[in-house]
Amino acid sequence: MDIRLGNGFDVHAFGPGTHVTLCGVEVPHDRGLIGHSDADVGMHTVTDAIYGALARGDIGQHFPPSDPQWKGAPSDIFLRHAVGLAAELGFEICNVDCTLICEEPKIGPHAAQMRSVMAEIMGLDEDRVSVKATTSERLGFTGRSEGIACIATAALARQ
C-alpha cells in the first residue's frame, strides 16, 4: 500500500467586507478576506495538502494568481481539481484535518457546517473531515486580528 501525507499552509489578510468564506461557508464578520479568488483560506490549505501528498506542487502552480480567469473564483473549483487529480492517480483520500488560526470570527458555531461542505466536495464521510480552530493567544498578525492563517494535513492511500 502506498500511503502519502501532505500538509498545507495559507494566510489571508482582512479587508473590506461583510463576511469571510471559510471551508465553503459564509461566516458573518465585519471584514472580509483579501485574495485573488474568494480567499477561502481553509479550502486553499486543504487543497495544498492534497497536492503535497501527491507531490504535485501547490495551488498557485495549478491556478496561477496572475491568470485573470481565477479572479474571485470560488475555491471549491481548486479543491475539486485536487480531489480529481488524486483519483486520477489512483489515490483515495483517507482523511483531512484543517485548523483555522484566528482570534475572530468564532469558528465553533460554524465548524459542523464547514465539515459537511468540505466532505461533500471531497466525496468523503464527515467523520473523515476535521475542521477546528485555535487562536494564537493574541500574538502575531492573527493575534492582532489582521488576518486568518490555516494549516491542514491530508492522508492519501493507493492499493
pLDDT given for residue 69 in this prediction:
87
What pLDDT, in 10s, does the model give residues 62-104? 999 888 888 889 999 999 999 999 999 999 999 999 999 999 9
Query: Residue-wise over 126-135: b if at least 16 C-beta within 10 A, else e?
Result: eebbbbebee
Q: Are 99 and 132 contacting, i.e. CB atoms less than 8 angstroms apart? A: yes
**3-state SS string for the chain:** CEEEEEEEEEEEEEECCCEEEECCEEEECCCEECCCCCCCHHHHHHHHHHHHHHCCCCHHHHCCCCCHHHCCCCCHHHHHHHHHHHHHCCCEEEEEEEEEECCCCCCHHHHHHHHHHHHHHHCCCHHHEEEEEECCCCCHHHHCCCEEEEEEEEEEEEC
What pLDDT, in 10s, does the model give residues 1-11? 999 999 999 99
pLDDT given for residue 80 in this prediction:
98
**Residue 81 corresponds to which cell in the numbers above?**
481539481
Q: Is the pTM of the predicted complex or chain greater than 0.85?
A: yes
Query: Residue 38 carries which side chain, given as an amino acid letter?
Result: D
pLDDT given for residue 159 in this prediction:
85
Give all domains of the chain, ordered by start, each with its CATH number: 2-158 (3.30.1330.50)
d(CA 28, CA 19): 4
**Residue 123 corresponds to which cell in the numbers above?**
466525496
